[in-house]
Amino acid sequence: MSAPAIRATAAQDAEQVLALYRAAAGGAGGLARRPDEMDLAYVESFLAKARAGGVTLGAWIDGRLAGEIHASRIGPEQFAHVLSDLTVAVDPTWQGRGVGRALFAALFEAARALSPQVTRIELMAREGNVDAIRLYERLGFVIEGRFVQRVRMPDGRLEDDIAMGLLLTPA
């Protein structure tokens, strides 16, 4: 596998991002939305929010979108140093092959370049998504809390949502 080409996603990438998210949601990944709960307006909305003060990046392999990551600022000035609402999706074909790790490395680099400076990144992970939680911990995220029985799985089971944070050190 060649290394993915990572660049900021643009408005014209929305259809590819939608296809990626639907593919990732249909697999064993940890996306909270089912494929039928996603449409172009949903994707355009989170991409626009991330581009307006946050980060949105795509990983292309052989001209095809293999993964996307985005995080946004959450609002009031007192949280300007925080990127939150982080979501990463990797096409099932490319999972376990370093695409997610490459996207996070690029996210950290881009976050360090933002102004005002970002010093904290937050994400949520469903407790059953153990591979993702292990990856996030290897990247430096720590478990900071748990929302008990917050996630209803398609089969009706309830799982905890795990709150994780990373304090971003300067480059």
Residue ranges of domains in the chain: 5-167
pTM of the model: 0.94
* pLDDT band of 1, cuts 50, 70, 90: low
pLDDT of 28 over the 70 cut: no
DSSP code, position 26: H
Looking at the domain 5-167, which fold is it?
A: Aminopeptidase (3.40.630)
pLDDT of 29 over the 70 cut: no
8 A C-beta contact, residue 69 and residue 107 = yes
**91, two tokens:** 């096409």
> In this predicted model, what pLDDT tens digit does every residue of 41-68 receive, in sequence order?
999 999 999 999 999 999 999 999 999 9
8 A C-beta contact, residue 119 and residue 166 = no
**What are the residues facing 166 on neighbouring strands?**
121
